[in-house]
Amino acid sequence: MELRKTLFLCLLGGTACKTASSNDPVLDAWAAQEGVSEETGKLREKLATLWVRVDDLGNTIARQQQQIQVMENRLLSKENRTSEEGIKAKEVPVTKNKTDSLLVEPIAVGGVKKQELFSRMSYAKRLFSEKRFGKAFIEFSRLEREFPPELSMGEQRFWVARCWLELGEFQSAWQFFRTYIEEFPGAAYVASAQFLMAKAEIGMGRREDAVIRLKNIIGAHPYESSAESAKHLLATLEKEKEK
C-alpha cells in the first residue's frame, strides 16, 4: 500500500484531481490532501486502470500456478498407479514405432551405469511411442537429472525436447533441441533435432526461420531420413503459402 501511495503521488507530481475517481478511498483521501489540478485527471484515471490490471495479472498468475500444480498431481498419481507396470516394462526391449521415423533404438554401450540408463530409457521411449507424453516427460526428465548427459551423448535431453514438442510447448522444445545440438554436435540425433526445431519454429509462427533450417538440413544431411522429411515439410509449406 505504501508503494501505491508513492507511485500515485509521483505520477501526479504532488497534485490530485476532484473530477476523476481512483475507486480507492485511500487514494482519494491522499489526493484531497495534496490539492487539485484538472490537468492530472487523465493521468489519475490511467493510474487507477493500471492498478486494476496489476490485480488482474496477479489473479491470473495464481490461477496458472494452481493449474500447474493440479497437472503435476495428476501425472504423479498416474505414475503411482502404473509403477508395477513400469518395472515390468523395463525388461521389455523397446520396439521402433513404424509411424515415427525419428524413434530409434538406444545406443548399445557397456558399463553398469550405462546399462541402467538405457534400460530405463527404453521404458520411457515406450511411453512416448504410446503417446503418453506427460508420463514420458517425467521419466526422461528424471534420467537427465540422475545421469550425466555425457553418458549417452545427451540422448535423454533430446527426448525431453521431443516431449515438450508433443505437449505443444514449442519454445521449451526449441531451447532443449538447441542446447542438445550445441553440446553434442556429433550425436546420433542432431539431424532429427534440427528437423524438429523447424517444426517448433513453425509452431511459434517463425515460418521463415523454419524454411531456412529445413533447407540447411537437406544440404548438410542429404542421405538421412531427416532430409526427406525436410523436403516433404518444405513442399507443404510452399503449398500453404500459395493459398
Domains and CATH numbers, the chain: 2-81 (no CATH), 86-242 (1.25.40.10)
Of the candidate ranges 68-72, 99-103, 220-224, 227-231, the one whose mean pLDDT is the lowest: 99-103
Q: What would the DSSP string read from start to end of 63-111?
A: HHHHHHHHHHHHHHHHHHHTHHHHHHHTTSPP---TT-TT--PPPP--S
pLDDT digits 0-9 by tens, 10-24:
444 444 444 444 455
- The answer to whether 185 touches 159, Cβ cutoff 8 Å, is no
CA-wise closest residue to 204 among 236, 172, 171? 171
State the amino acid at position 203 in one-letter form: G
pLDDT at 242: 79
CA-based nearest residue to 127, from 115, 139, 145, 119? 139
pLDDT tens profile 188-208: 999 999 999 999 999 999 999
Q: How far apart are CA 158 and CA 189, in angstroms?
A: 8
- State yes or no: pLDDT of 185 exceeds 70: yes
Rounded to an integer, what distance in angstroms lies between the CA atom of residue 100 and that of residue 106? 15
pLDDT of residue 99: 34
User: What is the C-alpha to C-alpha distance for residues 229 and 162, in angstroms, rounded to an integer?
Assistant: 16
pLDDT above 50: residue 176: yes
Residue 26 in this model has a pLDDT that exceeds 80: no
Question: What pLDDT does residue 227 have?
Answer: 95
| pLDDT surpasses 50 at 53 | yes
Cβ contact 12:40 at 8 Å: yes
Comparing 17-26, 70-79, 128-137, 182-191, which segment has the lowest mean pLDDT?
17-26
Q: For 70-97, what is the mean pLDDT? A: 52
| 92: confidence class by pLDDT, cuts 50, 70, 90 | very low
pLDDT of residue 109: 41
CA-to-CA dists, residue 51 to 5, 10, 134, 154, angstroms: 12, 15, 37, 46
Instruction: Tell me which of 61 and 172 has the higher pLDDT.
Output: 172
pLDDT, greater one: 30 or 182: 182
Kindly tell me if the per-residue pLDDT of 235 is higher than 70. yes
